[in-house]
Every structure is written in C-alpha cells, then in structure tokens.
Amino acid sequence: MKINRKELMTILGVKTDAMKKIVRLGQLEERLENKGYKLISNKKEGRTTMYEIELLNDSKEILSNICQYMFGTKKVEEFSEYFLYRVMNLDKPLTKEFIAKKVGVYRDTISRWDEYMLQNNILSKDGYFYVAIDYIQDKKELATPEHSLTCIDEYESYNNCIHQIKRFAEMKKKYIDGENVFEECIRRVSAYMYGQIKEYRSIAESKFVYKMKKYDKKYGCKLYKDIFKLIKENYPEKQLNDYWETWL
C-alpha cells in the first residue's frame, strides 16, 4: 500500500522532528519492521514523498501499539522481557534493580511499567515480601550475605533495633552539645549498661531486613493473555524457562 509522510508518521507514532531524525539516521526500515511493516520503496510524486509499504506481521503492530499506547513505551522487546520476568516470578522478591539490569533499562522504567500493569488490571497488589540478609562470617572473617524470606515480626523487630540505636546516638550528641537531656541520657546509658544497645548494634551489624511490594495476576485478565500470546508469536526464540529465576 502507498501512504504519505503524515500517514507514515501515524504508523510509527512519531512527530515531525522525530521523523526527520529517523530518516536522517537511516532507521526508517528498522522502525517499520518493528511495527510489522516492510518498506518497498519511497519516491517523490509532485511535492509529496510517497512510501510503499507491505504489512508483514499484524501481531507485531498490535504488540507495538499496546506497548506505546497502554504502557507508554516504544521499547517493545525490552518491555516484552520485563513482562516475562515479572509474571514468571510473582512468587519471588525480585528487585526492580535486578529486573532493570536483566532487561537493559533504568530502575525508574521498571517502576513505571509496574504502575501501568496495575492500572491496566494485569497485576494487583498482594501485600509485601519480607526479606532478611544475614551476613555470615567465614573462617577468613569475610561477611557473606545469605538471603531468606522472613515475616513481618522480624522486619518490625529489626526496625526497632535501628530506631533505638538512632535514638541513643541522638541523645549522646545532645549531651555532648551541652543540651539538658540528663534524665533521658541516664535512661539510655542504663539501657546500654544492661546490654540492650549493644545487642541492638550486634543485630544491626549482622543482618539487614527490608520489605518490597508483592504482586499477583488479576484472575481472568484478557489483556494479560493477549500480551503473553503476542510475545510468544513475535519472539519465538524467547524460552519461558530463561525468565524463571531461582531466587532462593
């Protein structure tokens, strides 16, 4: 089919300046292929440049449009990999940094895509993962981090330790600065004498406990099934097992 420059820009989803840049860098054929089209020819007809293109893969155009208009991105392959990593590992606390590194995008991009997944009812919030990192000392006294899933009780207990350590440090600073915090300092020093602060510090130095958002698939979501199918059609080389992470 023959189309003019304006129609071509509509297919590519770009404006005038971006279109000029695509042509200047010789990226027109590649960008059309990403949309499922092949460029046959382009030639002047009067004062207008006409483009002859052929539709190669309707599903590629559909996937591209879903990415652009529902997830705000033109990075179709990167989004496809993100989608597979996210939905294949909902039972594991994969960090945004981890997925971003795997996919090749910024952490903020993963945050934005997660939000779109919620808005489009593909995912729903399902509480939190609580993760403990224990630093085990080996014979050479090198701390080796060991990750494990834990519970909200340990998370709150750890944060209480951190809070008490900070409060003690604040009181100590105020006392050194000459502020009248005698009674408070006596109470904190007494706690230290009985080993409480020392115990808190020991816990804080040996582990780190944090929480991160947990998601679940929305039951019966057609968009989820459609995207999954489109990814498999357009990227048959992507094996699902390659996106399943053995976190623990």
For residue 193, pLDDT beyond 60: no
Sheet holding 48-55, edge to edge: 2-4, 48-55, 37-45
Which residues lie below 8 Å from residue 129, measured CB to CB, with a gap of 6+? 93, 149, 211, 212, 213, 214
For residue 31, pLDDT beyond 70: yes
Query: Greatest CA span in the chain, whole angstroms?
Result: 92
Position 3, amino acid? I
Predicted confidence at residue 141, as pLDDT, reads 59
pTM: 0.71
- What residues pair up with 172 in beta bridges, in sequence order? none
Mean per-residue pLDDT, 111-119: 95
Predicted confidence at residue 184, as pLDDT, reads 61
Which has the closest alpha carbon to 40: 11, 8, 2?
A: 2
- pLDDT band at residue 187 under the 50/70/90 scheme: low
Q: Kindly write down the DSSP assignment for every residue of 180-227, as one continuous string.
A: S-HHHHHHHHHHHHTTHHHHHHHHHHHEEEEEEEEEEEPTT-HHHHHH
**Tokens found for residue 24:** 């200047």
CA distance 133 to 163: 18
Range picked from 109-118, 131-140, 160-169, 212-221 for highest mean pLDDT: 109-118
For residue 137, pLDDT beyond 90: no
Mean per-residue pLDDT, 221-238: 89
Would you call 40 helix, strand, or coil by DSSP? strand
Q: Read off the pLDDT of residues 46-99 as tens digits, 9 standing for 90 and up.
A: 888 898 988 777 888 889 889 988 999 989 999 999 999 999 999 999 999 999
For residue 103, pLDDT beyond 80: yes
